[in-house]
Structure 1
Amino acid sequence: MKHLARLQTGRISSLVVLAVAVLALGALFALLPTTSNDSAPPSSAPDDADSSRVARLLKAFPDADQSLALVVVATGDGSAFSAEQTAYLEAAVAGLAAESVAPQAVRPQLNEDRSAAMIAVPVEGAGGESEAIVEQADRLREIATEGRPDGVDTYLSGAVGFQADTVNAFAGTDVRLLLVTAGVVALLLILTYRSPVLWLVPLLVVATGDGLARFVVGAIAERFDIAVDASIMGILSVLVFGAGTNYALLLIARYREGLLAHEDRRVAMREAVAGAGPAILASGGTVVLSLLMLLFASLSGNRALGLACAIGIAIALAMALLVLPAAVLVCGRGLFWPFVPRPGAERTERPSFWGRVGRGVRRRPATIAAATVVVLGILAVGLLGARIGLSQTEQLLGDPESVQGERVATEAFGSDYGTSLTVLAPDDQAAPAVASAKTVTGVGDATVSGAAEGWTRIMIAVEGGSQTDEAFSTIRDLRETYADDATLDGVLVGGPDASALDENDADARDRNLIIPLIVLVVFLVLVVLLRSLLAPVLLILTVLATFFASLGAGNLLFQNLLGFPAFDNRVVLYAFLFLVALGVDYNIFLTTRAREERARLGTRDGMQEALSVTGGVITSAGIVLAAVFVVLGILPVVALAQIGTIVCIGVLLDTLVVRTLLVPALAFVLGERFWWPARHVKSRVNSPR
């Protein structure tokens, strides 16, 4: 790190470093292909799941490219259709039949009191193309609403409706999320630095890193056929802006500290890079390694997120350590105007507030440690009664038309309204497969619907809404029935709901595998960095406590204020990943400085000094990271809103409670034992009183 610091701070070499960086970045932006990442997240069960095998086998059927639109028509007041409304309904059915690939199958199904009708419309598939999906949905809506009389509501639901609403939900969010994130970071940097110019340099460096990360990730995804959707790119931008700004805040704070001690700003920057660089490198390396653990996941979406975000953090780290020091240095000391730090000036980066906090914690460390643990425990109690898993109608914000349509259909048709499964059986097992299906509770009907290449397709009607616990229970029972039937061998249960169930099960397996791997990675990094065994264990325990507390607080907030009945399946894993990998950053910033001061002051005085010096910058960094994660709520997806909220709560707890109170209190209680088994170092100065 010292060699890098000298290279970046030389009179000529600093300019060379900056020029080479600008040329390299320009070349990469020019050469890398431009890709669009506005697509909605695809449904992707593991390749070896039954539903994935069914999807592959269905491609051999003549109608493999078909999809299903469900048009729901209902009177607004629950009364029976009038003569005028019935005539409109018949005309709508005729128009929709003309648009269908199976006109004879387009027939209205009326509920008992004739106040609602469902029209199933088989249509040609849009091939997964976002624009084609939206155009097809718009066309069907136009036909279904033409000549609609007063007192009737029409909704487009089913596969086509949900796909179109999901695509529309993500349309344009890529740019909007980027602009809002950059705006939030700019505002917080201005408030932090209290300078009209200083904020521009780190923001431009971080924004350039984000742009480069998006180009690199897009190029790699296109080259290796990795599905990187709008939600992954949104999380990528939030991570790069959040982590990159954190690294910039730490480096510039250390640089400012040096400017108060040295006339030569190059010496100050050299000390800043040599002093803060190892902590920044360890912090970024921890995040990158933790993200790479997602490559062991069974779900392609998890693997794609891990790869994309690991690349983004690596680029943010490179920009902070390679480009930012030279960029800040060439701007001169006046970059801090109007509060220009000079030798002999008041050391404003050590607010007395953090010194008082350190002294207060040191007076009663055991009491404060116990109190913070109790607070975190109380918040974690909010997890009681928490559920994991949202139905299809609960996954989008804003109550789109497809969700409204399914809700109206469920209310109007009750148990007669459900979802359907696609079962594939070898041709010689089709009859017993149909018979076995009809014995399963929750199965309404089972009918043969075509055959191809030795497989017979059986369509099974299932009670319960799409992706509900009731539907999932029926799928599990159906699969168990087939597995227990000695006359059946190789029968596969697929369809959208079966795929969702397989994806949920894979998410659970990924959580059980990835979470321990992340803990192991963080522990090993802390051991190497701090050269201790006890301190890493304590730091990981504090971060885990923060995770459960923020998850509990989030659950209370979701259920009582925001109306989310459960966590989305991926929320727990992603929240754990970001809170542990990013949350440990602040402990790394604090404890590496405490370890540095320990050699001079001893453990207790060193921790108090570290808290006093780093308190302001770490708090600012935490607020920035918490704020950018809240921006994820712009994307109209419940999962991202939940992740952003939980990480925001967790980061604030980490920076304002755990790093400020709990970790220093543990160090004060344990003294030199905090660094066990590192060799005891005696304090060389008197302890502050």
Structure 2
Amino acid sequence: MSTWKRLVGFAGGKLGRWPVVSVWILLALAATAVTGDLDQLKDNSTEARLPADAPSAQALELAEDKFEDDGHEPLFVVYHRPGGITDADTAAAQADHEALQDELAMPGATTPDPLLSEDGEAIVVVAALPPEAITDDALEATMPQVDEILDADKPSGLEVVPTGPVAAEYDLDAVFEGLDTKLLLVTAGIVALLLLLIYRSPLLLLLPLACVGVANILTNAAVFLLAKHASMTVDNQATGILTVLVFGVGTDYALLLIARYREELRRREDRFAAMRAALPSTFTTLLATAITTALAMLILLFADLGTTAALGPVAAVGIGCALLTMVTLLPALLAIFGRAVFWPAIPRFDPDAADTAEGRHRLWHRITTVVTRRPRAVWTVTVLALLAATLGAATLSSGLTLADSFTDTPGAVRGQKLMAEHYDAGRTAPVEIYTPTASATEVAATLADVPGVKNPLDERESTNGDWTLQRVVLTDDPVGPRAEATIDRIRAALTDVEPRALVGGNTATTVDVNAAMDRDLRVLIPLILAVVLIVLIVLLRALVAPLLLLASVVLSFAAAVGAAGLVLDALGYTKTDGTFVLYGFLFLVALGIDYTIFLMNRAREETALHGHAEGIRRSLTLTGGVITSAGIVLAATFAVLTVLPLVFMVQIGVLVAIGVLLDTVVVRSLLVPTLALDLGRHTWWPGRLARKPSASPAREEVPV
């Protein structure tokens, strides 16, 4: 560690500042040069998301290995007019059907004629699109061409909506298009505004923001290179969260270093000496928090769900780049500008000024005095309040479907609803059953008796004749919980008839994804807690304090879920999936524990010098302002996710923002200090601080 301290100390030194900045300029230019189009490397496919042993994933693999591609994917178009379809509507649907077949459909593919619904209010048209027209790149040209055909000579008042899996994929791609840039701009704007409010200094607005921007460039380059050359999986969800994470964590690290540097400038006339005193000790704390967060993120590699596993290494890379930037580039820039960086509120060297915690942190000294006057009463009321907040979780429910996943209603979702209202909704996403040909007849008879299965669509054999694909239509909307229950019934019914049968298709995929989410919750959450606990034990050299901190963070998370539930209920986004709990837990435990590490690491130092009770009081006084500021910044950056048109992102943004504020304002300021005071020196058991109330006379304190 001493070697690392010397290395990072060099960055803010008189000789090291310019070389470090020069190296970073070259590094940023190189990172920009090597970074290509990350979108081309993203894997948002179903195969990447599913566990390899999931039945629907095995069905996909079997289809690719044993069956010839039938050469087309169906695109459904729904024509809807309340009160009844007119003759002009029918003629338009027929003309569109012919135009789609002539201009876009695969040659030789046959599709049914336009079908009028029984209630006479809708017509559905099916177009057979060739494989080359539905790749991620080709869809950007195909769907606008479809819209052009459908808009031509459309009768007034007729609603025409493309739907089905092809249209849904296009709508989802459109949501993510330009998302990274939008997130970057909004996040940078929020961080800039908060830095200006915190410091009221133009340079202290620009320098941390520039460093976070460089960290983001370095992160994107590292992720691109790892995705291209090391087969690291990257998807839209991971890159969207990554930008917010780098800006939030990087700014937090900057705030902690700047606060320590400013304190040292008041003690030391030489700005380089001030940086030499501030940087090494701050680095120790930042390294501990970064390791904790990165290790927690890497636990996601044990996830079954591909999107969850993809986030882990991507997030860990971002945290590492943020730490590296903030302990090298930022100190060098601060050392170059010196005291002027704080203009107009420049900290002056004044060795005769009062150097007590009370004198320099009057507001937090008053808060500490009130909070610690009756510690048992304070922590008891705080725990009861947090427990009460958890009741809000009752407003949340599981079962987030594709139709519920957008803050607005994309065309494919609207079309799916129309299909469900006027037709067999399952026709747009039939269930695919792959079975050995010898058992095909028996399987077909079994399927006919399963509740929720309406009728078969078609049947075809594999290239070698050993396997048969049977496609059936469900009676319920294929994206709803009732259809998912039908998948479970189909699989159960086929277990005795043909154990080798595989059930695939969109609905079966959803069932398998939900099962993977449930498994990940049961496995990953205990692993994350174990990693955080081990790091805290090593850092604090105690057992009681880490257990206390972990319990407080878990309680804070439960309260955050409850409070977020009330907010999401007001917004109308109460349906969630398993990743809401998992991601929320990950970010709030991994990031929220940072603030407690800042507090308790300082408390350990102060306890060794001033005794337990005084050490706890001084640590709260000394760290209060900067940790509160850092929490507000991190909460605001995650709140940026609420501007996105995806319900899941809105939910995570609300949950993490509320949770971080609870951690910094309630848990760190009220619960943890008062619990530690009430437990006394036993907090540090079995370490030496539990046996030794004070190690030495009071020294001049240096706030973190």
Per the normalisation by structure 1, the TM-score is 0.95
Does the CA-based 8 Å contact 1:598-1:681 persist in structure 2? Answer: no
Q: 2:15 corresponds to which residue?
A: 12
From 321, 337, 349, the counterpart of 1:315: 321
Does the CA-based 8 Å contact 1:260-1:343 persist in structure 2? Answer: yes
Shift of 1:577: 0.5
Pick which of 200-209 and 131-140 moved more. Answer: 131-140
Q: 1:610 corresponds to which residue?
A: 619
Q: 2:638 corresponds to which residue?
A: 629
Q: How does 1:489-504 map to 2 (within 5 A)?
A: 489-504=499-514
| Matching residue's letter, 1:394 | D
From 392, 397, 404, the counterpart of 1:387: 397
Q: 2:478 corresponds to which residue?
A: 466
Shift of 1:395: 1.1
For the residue of structure 2 that corresponds to 1:456, the secondary structure is strand
For the residue of structure 2 that corresponds to 1:107, the secondary structure is coil
Q: Does 1:259 align with 2:269?
A: no
For the residue of structure 2 that corresponds to 1:459, the secondary structure is strand
Shift of 1:91: 1.8
Does the CA-based 8 Å contact 1:410-1:417 persist in structure 2? Answer: no
Identify if the C-alpha distance between structure 1 residues 386 and 32 changes in structure 2 by more than 3 Å, giving closer, same or farther.
closer
Does the CA-based 8 Å contact 1:58-1:64 persist in structure 2? Answer: no
From 350, 354, 359, the counterpart of 2:364: 354
Shift of 1:327: 1.9
From 21, 26, 29, the counterpart of 1:23: 26
Q: 1:162 corresponds to which residue?
A: 168
Q: 2:45 corresponds to which residue?
A: 42
Identify if the C-alpha distance between structure 1 residues 569 and 132 changes in structure 2 by more than 3 Å, giving closer, same or farther.
farther
Does the CA-based 8 Å contact 1:383-1:552 persist in structure 2? Answer: yes
2: CA distance between counterparts of 1:118 and 1:591? Answer: 64
For the residue of structure 2 that corresponds to 1:117, the secondary structure is strand
Q: 2:216 corresponds to which residue?
A: 210
Shift of 1:664: 0.9
From 508, 517, 525, the counterpart of 2:518: 508
2: CA distance between counterparts of 1:128 and 1:12? Answer: 58
Pick which of 604-613 and 208-217 moved more. Answer: 604-613
**Could you list the runs of 5+ residues in structure 2 that have no partner in the other structure?**
699-704
| Matching residue's letter, 2:87 | A
Q: 2:83 corresponds to which residue?
A: 79
For the residue of structure 2 that corresponds to 1:643, the secondary structure is helix
Q: How does 1:87-486 map to 2 (within 5 A)?
A: 87-98=91-102, 99-101=104-106, 103-126=109-132, 129-344=135-350, 350-384=360-394, 386-413=396-423, 419-452=429-462, 453=464, 454-485=466-497
| Matching residue's letter, 1:678 | G
2: CA distance between counterparts of 1:473 and 1:511? Answer: 21
Shift of 1:656: 0.8
Q: 1:668 corresponds to which residue?
A: 677
Shift of 1:525: 0.3
Pick which of 127-136 and 520-529 moved more. Answer: 127-136
From 575, 578, 595, the counterpart of 1:569: 578
| Matching residue's letter, 2:693 | K
2: CA distance between counterparts of 1:511 and 1:590? Answer: 29
| Matching residue's letter, 2:491 | R
Percent identity reads 38
> What RMSD in Å do the two structures reach over aligned CA positions?
2.2
Q: Deviations over 1:10-40 (max 9, x none)?
A: 3213333333333344334434545336968
Does the CA-based 8 Å contact 1:423-1:492 persist in structure 2? Answer: yes
Q: Does 1:598 align with 2:607?
A: yes
Identify if the C-alpha distance between structure 1 residues 104 and 25 changes in structure 2 by more than 3 Å, giving closer, same or farther.
closer
Does the CA-based 8 Å contact 2:180-2:243 persist in structure 1? Answer: no
Q: Deviations over 1:600-639 (max 9, x none)?
A: 2112211211111111111110011011101112332111
Q: Does 1:552 align with 2:557?
A: no
Identify if the C-alpha distance between structure 1 residues 429 and 35 changes in structure 2 by more than 3 Å, giving closer, same or farther.
same
Pick which of 580-589 and 98-107 moved more. Answer: 98-107
Identify if the C-alpha distance between structure 1 residues 117 and 11 changes in structure 2 by more than 3 Å, giving closer, same or farther.
same
2: CA distance between counterparts of 1:538 and 1:425? Answer: 54
Shift of 1:269: 1.2
Q: Deviations over 1:249-283 (max 9, x none)?
A: 00110111111111112221122112221111100
For the residue of structure 2 that corresponds to 1:148, the secondary structure is coil
Pick which of 399-408 and 223-232 moved more. Answer: 223-232
2: CA distance between counterparts of 1:36 and 1:413? Answer: 37
| Matching residue's letter, 2:74 | L
2: CA distance between counterparts of 1:469 and 1:205? Answer: 47
For the residue of structure 2 that corresponds to 1:105, the secondary structure is coil
2: CA distance between counterparts of 1:301 and 1:128? Answer: 22
**Could you list the runs of 5+ residues in structure 1 that have no partner in the other structure?**
none
Pick which of 59-68 and 496-505 moved more. Answer: 59-68
Does the CA-based 8 Å contact 2:13-2:276 persist in structure 1? Answer: no
2: CA distance between counterparts of 1:37 and 1:653? Answer: 39
2: CA distance between counterparts of 1:503 and 1:462? Answer: 19
